Structure formats: C-alpha cells, structure tokens
Structure 1
Amino acid sequence: MKKFKHLAGCLALCAAFGVAGGAVAQDDRHTTVQDGIEVRPLSRLTKVVPAETVNQAAAQQYTQMMSQAQQKGVLLPPSHPQVQRLRAIAQRIIPHSARWNQEASRWQWQVNVIDSKDVNAFCMPGGRIGFFTGILTSLKLTDDEVAAVMGHEIAHALREHSREKMAKQGLTNIGARLTGLAASAIFGVDPSFTGSLANAGAQLVGLKFSRNDEREADLVGLDIAARAGYDPRAGIALWRKMAALSQRAPIELLSTHPGGESRINDMQAHMNVLLPVYARTKGTTAAKLPPYRSNVALR
C-alpha cells in the first residue's frame, strides 16, 4: 500500500511538472517578429526567478571577477587602447538595446577587458560586459566583428536567457528526479539507476534550450549592432574565423552552441532585413553597400 501511495504521489508531481513543461513548449511555439527578426516571447518561467535576485547575483559575481583580475594584474586599465575601443563600441550599441528589453535603459552598464588567452566574452544580467584579450587577438577582430560578439552577448542579457535557464533547469531537475522515482516504483528498478538516465535526458533538454538561445542572440545581437552602424555581415566573417581556429568542433547535438555552418546559414537568411537597417545608418541602400572585408582572408 505504501508503494502505491508513493507511486500516486510521484505521478501527481510528474503531472504537475508536465503542466509546467507544457508552458515551456507553449512559450517556444509562439513567436513575435520585430523588423523581420523572429524571437520567442520572454518566457513566463522567468517569473519563477525574481529579476532582482538574478541581478544581485550577477553584480556580485562580476565584481568578484574583476577584483580578482585586478589583484592578479590582468584587468586592463581604463586608459588601455583595447578598453577604450570596446567601451566606444558599447556606447554606440547600448542605446539600441532597449527596443528588445525596456529595462536595459535602467541598467548600470560596465565594460571591462581581462588579459587572458581565453577566446571568450560575456554580458551578465544588468549589462555587465567582459571581454578576454584572447578573442580580440586570436581572431584579429575588426570593430564590426567586435560589435557582432558584443551584440550577441548583450542579446543574451536582453532576452533574459540566464534567468530563463535558471528557471527551466530547476523544473527539469525536479522532473528528472520525479521520473526516476516513478519508474523505480513501477518496475522495482534501483532509483539511482533510473535517476541517472533521467538526468542524462534532462541535460540534453537543457542543451536544446541553449541552442535556441544562441540562435536568438545571434540575430538580436546583429540587429542592435546594425542599428549602431556596424556591418551585420561581420557575424558571418566572425564564425568563419571561429571555424578556422577550431577545426575539430564538437558534434552539434552535444554542444551548447549551434554548429558554425548552422549559425552562418541563419545569419545569411536574415541579411535581407539586417542589411537595410545597416545601410540606412550609412545613408545608402543595401544594394549599394560594398562587399564586407575582414582583415583576414576567409574562404
């Protein structure tokens, strides 16, 4: 009898999780279009994690990271040419960010550069941007390509992907545990075994969400960069460079990022709406724009 009561409880909780999962799927199906850029609406699940909580955590983590970098002598000073360069690019992009999230107009934006070989950059919730010198030097980024990277990272913050991921991951973990318990109750299987299988599946679901977020960030990022007067075709050049830098990329199914060619195809499919936006900032039309030229020969 205890076993059946335990099973009933598990199934009830799984059903509740299924309703929450349905809300996730429903959010993903309904999209909105802004000047040709199709995005999902901001997930209702973000309400599970208060914005204030996320912003406070991000502020604390960012401060700690920059403090540690300064102590180690790898935080570039404001007078450094690369810091001045990135802050100038950010000043042009940031005014266009509120069109994707009105809260961005109240963010306390920061831009810092860490001297490291890491080929990476980020933007934490609340507009806290960080670049590693490795991505600037290894890829020899032009200003347009820096804007593509920066726009992409800012877009993650604008679309509240971190907050959404925290909420989804919490629900997914709950569902994984409940599924394991229910299966063990039905079939008499060791809960640790079924739990491990469920957790593996949960990780794949999480990766799928991440790939969707990356594709969205690519397009929203190029949109705000284009409005700031940076050539959106730089996004394509950027990923050509990334492909050349890393010839042995992970299988897309097991990667938190879409494959390079997949990203390039998505960007190319939206150039018909991105290029006119950029062309207007130059006082011309998309048809009259010269070809994009990077500082490295690309295939």
Structure 2
Amino acid sequence: MKTLFAVIVLLAAGLTGCQTNPVSGRSQLVLVSEEQAQASSAQAYAQTVNEAQQKGKLSTDAALNARVKRITDRLIVQAGTMYPPSRSWKWSVAVIDEPTLNAWCMPGGKMAIYTGIITKLKLTDDEIAQVMGHEISHALLGHGRERMSRAMATQGGLQIGSILAGRDLTVLAPVADIALTLPNSRESESEADRYGIELAARAGYDPHAAISLWEKMSQASGNGPPQFLSTHPAPTNRIQALNALVPKMMPIYEKARN
C-alpha cells in the first residue's frame, strides 16, 4: 500500500508539475516554486561570493567591473521586456578572478562571470553580451527550476524503484543523469542560445558576436567531449544554429542601435 501511494504521488507530481514557460512556450516539469528556487539561489550566490572574497578572488579591477556592469545593466532592461516578472528580481553580478572559461545566472538574477573567459578569449563587449545574454536567458526560461525539478523526480523514481526491487537503486543516479537529464540540458542550452542572442540584440549588441564567441570557445576547448555525453551542443552544431539566427536578429539589433 505504501508503495502504491508513493507511485501515485510521483505520477501526480509529474502531471501537476508541468507548466508552460511564458517566454519559450515550451512545457516544463516544474516541481520547485519560483520562490524556493530564488531563495536557494540567493543563499548559494551569497556563499559563492563570500568564499571568493575570502580567497581574494573577487576582481578588484574597477574598469573590468564597470565594463561588465554596463553590459549586464543593458541586458537586464531587455530581460524585463522579455519576461516582465524579472523586473522585480534583485539582480547582482560578480566578477570572479579565476582562469575558468565560465559564467552563470541563477534563478532571480544572481550572476557571475569569470575573468578567465574574458581575458583568455579576449572578449569584446559584444561577445561578453552574448555570454551573459545566454546565461540570463537560462534564468528567464526557468531552466534552473526545471533542473531542480528533474533531479527531484529522478531521485524520487529511484527511491520508489528501490522499494519495488527490494534493493538500493540510488547508485544508478549517474546513469539516470545521462539518460534523463543531459538530453534536456542540451535542449536548454540550445534554447538559451536562441533567446540569448535575441536578448543581446535587443540591448544593441551585434548578433555576429555569438558566432565569433563560439569560434573562440571551440578553439579553446578543442571541441570538447562527444555531444551525446555533453550538456552543451557540439560547437560546430551550435555555430551552425546561431548562424541561421543572425539574419533574423539583425533587424532587432539595428533598431536598438538606432
């Protein structure tokens, strides 16, 4: 009886947890509320920034910090147009002095970019806008909540499977991650590419920079791992998809520039 009840609860959660994202129009599994996602993100962000500060890893380069803030401020304004609820988010951006080629944006607008991606790739303002536009789009598209929800559903399914099988199946979590999480993560990455290039164009940043950015990333990463085992689309596939978007984005960019 307990097992049957657990199965019913999990199925009900899957059915009632599906929501249509207001930006993309795609149906998503959402078991975590926006408030929960933002609260956990704010806590994680504060911890990350505090740790970076204690280690002397927060950038003290005033010009670089001002540059990043100027770019992200323009993107945030357009994010409010694309997804009006984001106008009330407590946006914040940290520049972390580490060599990693990375940046991120948590639910609620908590952002960071690492100096490595800027300095190693010698990014232009347009290219930084593509990086941060992509990361901000993850937040606007609810990908953080979706990722949390999928993790919850996967873990719940493994726990129920353990009851049915009479043994612990939670050791299969890495397998479940590859089977379930990664394909959707690639979908999320492609989705963030699509809306990130538009967000940057709306803010007056050249869409062609998305191509040059990923050409630089491809050269720096050596094309990365095989696509089927990566949370990111293969660089060649990514560049091809972005190239197809550039002509559609140019009128938006030109209007913003004028």
Alignment partner of 1:54 is 2:37: yes
Q: Residue 289 of structure 1 corresponds to which residue in structure 2?
A: none
Q: Taking structure 1 as reference, are residues 16 and 64 closer, same or farther at Cα in structure 2, changes over 3 Å only?
A: closer
Alignment partner of 1:173 is 2:160: no
Q: Taking structure 1 as reference, are residues 264 and 20 closer, same or farther at Cα in structure 2, changes over 3 Å only?
A: farther
Post-superposition CA distance 1:145-167 (Å, at most 9, x none) = 00000001111111121112111
Q: Map residues 224-263 of structure 1 onto 2, 5 A cutoff.
A: 224-247=199-222, 249-263=224-238
In 2, Cα distance between equivalents of 1:198 and 1:154: 28
Q: Which amino acid aligns with 1:247?
A: G
Q: Residue 140 of structure 2 corresponds to which residue in structure 1?
A: 158
Q: Residue 88 of structure 2 corresponds to which residue in structure 1?
A: 106
Contact 1:177 1:198 (C-alpha < 8 Å) held by counterparts: no
Q: Which amino acid aligns with 1:170?
A: M
Per-residue deviation at 1:201? Answer: 3.0
In 1, Cα distance between equivalents of 2:27 and 2:87: 17
In 2, Cα distance between equivalents of 1:255 and 1:227: 30
Post-superposition CA distance 1:156-179 (Å, at most 9, x none) = 111121112111210122123323
* Partner of residue 26 from structure 2, selected from 24, 29, 41: 41
In 1, Cα distance between equivalents of 2:43 and 2:9: 34
Q: Which amino acid aligns with 1:51?
A: E
Q: For structure 1, which runs of at least 5 residues remain unmatched after alignment?
A: 186-190, 284-299
Contact 2:104 2:112 (C-alpha < 8 Å) held by counterparts: yes
Q: Residue 67 of structure 1 corresponds to which residue in structure 2?
A: 50
In 2, Cα distance between equivalents of 1:69 and 1:161: 25
Deviates more, 1:60-69 or 1:12-21: 12-21
Q: Map residues 275-286 of structure 1 onto 2, 5 A cutoff.
A: 275-283=250-258
Post-superposition CA distance 1:261-299 (Å, at most 9, x none) = 22112212222321211122234xxxxxxxxxxxxxxxx
Query: Aligned to 1:123, what secondary structure does the other structure show?
Result: strand
Post-superposition CA distance 1:20-41 (Å, at most 9, x none) = 55677x76xx788x7xxxx343
Per-residue deviation at 1:97? Answer: 0.2
Q: Which amino acid aligns with 2:107?
A: P
Q: Taking structure 1 as reference, are residues 257 and 22 closer, same or farther at Cα in structure 2, changes over 3 Å only?
A: farther
Alignment partner of 1:211 is 2:186: yes
Contact 2:155 2:170 (C-alpha < 8 Å) held by counterparts: no
Post-superposition CA distance 1:79-125 (Å, at most 9, x none) = 61110101111121111102332221011211221111111111122
Higher Cα radius of gyration: 1
Alignment partner of 1:200 is 2:175: yes
Query: Aligned to 2:39, what secondary structure does the other structure show?
Result: helix
With structure 2 as the length reference, what TM-score do the two structures score?
A: 0.88
Q: Residue 294 of structure 1 corresponds to which residue in structure 2?
A: none
Q: For structure 2, which runs of at least 5 residues remain unmatched after alignment?
A: none
Q: Taking structure 1 as reference, are residues 282 and 199 closer, same or farther at Cα in structure 2, changes over 3 Å only?
A: closer
The number of residues matched between the two structures is: 258
Q: Which amino acid aligns with 2:26?
A: P
Contact 1:122 1:153 (C-alpha < 8 Å) held by counterparts: yes
In 1, Cα distance between equivalents of 2:9 and 2:89: 36
Q: Taking structure 1 as reference, are residues 276 and 58 closer, same or farther at Cα in structure 2, changes over 3 Å only?
A: same
In 1, Cα distance between equivalents of 2:124 and 2:193: 17
Query: Aligned to 1:98, what secondary structure does the other structure show?
Result: helix
Query: Aligned to 1:76, what secondary structure does the other structure show?
Result: coil
Of all paired residues, the percent bearing the same amino acid is: 37
Q: Map residues 1-150 of structure 1 onto 2, 5 A cutoff.
A: 10=3, 13-14=6-7, 17-18=10-11, 20-21=13-14, 39-41=24-26, 43=28, 45-46=29-30, 48-77=31-60, 80-150=62-132
Query: Aligned to 1:122, what secondary structure does the other structure show?
Result: strand
Contact 2:98 2:115 (C-alpha < 8 Å) held by counterparts: yes
In 2, Cα distance between equivalents of 1:96 and 1:53: 25
Deviates more, 1:228-237 or 1:172-181: 172-181
